[in-house]
């Protein structure tokens, strides 16, 4: 979930990162990559591998802690889950920045396409790799938690794929209202309706994209050092989860939702996974984060372009 620039000697980004850590920090910089056509067959697969690995790390820790919290009850409180998500995001960025720039989120890749002239064909490759990485991590997690999930379903009288089984399916995909907070009865549906869920995911992802830009934009003279920018992004994710997760489980990332959700569909949750017990998963967990990221990322770019002083590189002829 980082900048559309890719660290490679054949790529000349508008704001060139000087190290792998700097590449991780360049999450929201405006770029205009110039890629030699002869190098493209080699560069894009490496970048896709980076996105696959980075998203795998992010989902392994993030969705993994949800598995642990739901299936075993070992996590106490939402903040413990949110902190592990923060660690997963941070490590995912550091794991993949040198290969791809560490987007790790289709909504952030879309921001690059719309505002930073990131090539569409590369964006498609990135998004496919992100979903594949999320699916692979979810499959690995199921091999670890399969028995614990089955025991959780047995204790709570859940028939996988039947009504109410989103209480176990939530270890992969996301549901509104949060089944762990409000339960799965129809009375709970009045607490968080589709419109409220859409707004929560859109605003949460807008805040994420805004914070990414604020932490990394070259015109922000108060941004933290490059080596710790990924950590601040992770902490931002944790803070947003603490606010949004009680309502919608805080997707904020279409790959994080769709990859694990698709795995749960294959594992027997069926219509509880897709289209979900009350529908809306496509608009709430795919469309809303993309719109939100464009709003948040675009807003900071607009502010930076009009209100913040240009960098020395921009002033030089």
pLDDT by residue for the chain (317 residues), tens only, comes to 544 433 333 333 333 333 333 433 343 333 333 333 334 556 899 999 999 999 999 999 999 999 999 999 998 889 999 999 999 999 999 999 999 999 999 999 999 999 999 999 999 999 999 999 999 999 999 999 999 999 999 999 999 999 999 999 999 999 999 999 999 988 888 899 999 999 999 999 999 999 999 999 989 999 998 889 999 999 999 999 999 999 999 999 999 999 999 999 999 999 999 999 988 999 999 999 999 999 999 999 999 988 887 876 666 66
Domain coordinates of the chain in residue numbers? 20-315
Annotation: CATH topology of 20-315: Glycerol uptake facilitator protein (1.20.1080)
Distance CA 166, CA 184 (A): 7
Q: Write down the pTM of the prediction.
A: 0.85
Tell me if 189 sits within 8 A of 176, measured CB to CB.
no
Query: Which backbone phi and psi does 108 adopt, to 5 degrees?
Result: -70, -40
């Amino acid at each position: 979930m980082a900048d559309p620039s890719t660290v490679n000697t054949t790529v000349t980004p508008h704001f060139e990162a000087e190290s792998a850590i700097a590449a991780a920090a360049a999450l929201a910089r405006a770029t205009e990559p110039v890629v030699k056509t002869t190098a493209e067959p080699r560069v894009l697969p490496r970048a896709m591998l980076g996105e696959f690995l980075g998203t795998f790390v992010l989902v392994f820790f993030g969705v993994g802690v949800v598995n642990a919290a739901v299936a075993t009850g070992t996590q106490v409180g939402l903040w413990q889950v949110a902190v592990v998500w923060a660690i997963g995001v941070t490590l995912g960025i550091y794991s993949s920045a040198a290969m791809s720039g560490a987007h790790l989120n289709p909504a952030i890749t879309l921001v690059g396409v719309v505002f930073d002239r990131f090539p569409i064909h590369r964006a498609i490759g990135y998004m496919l790799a992100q979903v594949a990485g999320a699916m692979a991590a979810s499959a690995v997690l199921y091999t670890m938690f399969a028995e614990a999930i089955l025991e959780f379903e047995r204790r709570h009288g859940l028939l996988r794929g039947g009504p109410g089984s989103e209480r176990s399916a939530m270890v992969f995909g996301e549901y509104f209202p949060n089944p762990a907070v409000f339960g799965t009865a129809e009375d709970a549906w009045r607490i968080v309706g589709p419109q409220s869920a859409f707004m929560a995911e859109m605003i949460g992802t807008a805040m994420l994209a805004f914070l990414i830009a604020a932490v990394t934009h070259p015109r922000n003279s108060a941004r933290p050092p490059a080596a710790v920018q990924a950590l601040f992004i992770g902490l931002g994710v944790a803070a947003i989860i603490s606010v949004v997760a009680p309502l919608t489980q805080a997707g904020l990332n279409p790959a994080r939702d769709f990859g694990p959700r698709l795995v749960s569909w294959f594992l027997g949750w069926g219509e509880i996974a897709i289209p979900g017990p009350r529908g809306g998963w496509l608009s709430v967990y795919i469309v809303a984060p993309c719109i939100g990221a464009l709003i948040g990322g675009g807003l900071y770019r607009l502010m930076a372009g009009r209100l913040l002083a240009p960098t020395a590189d921009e002033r030089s002829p």
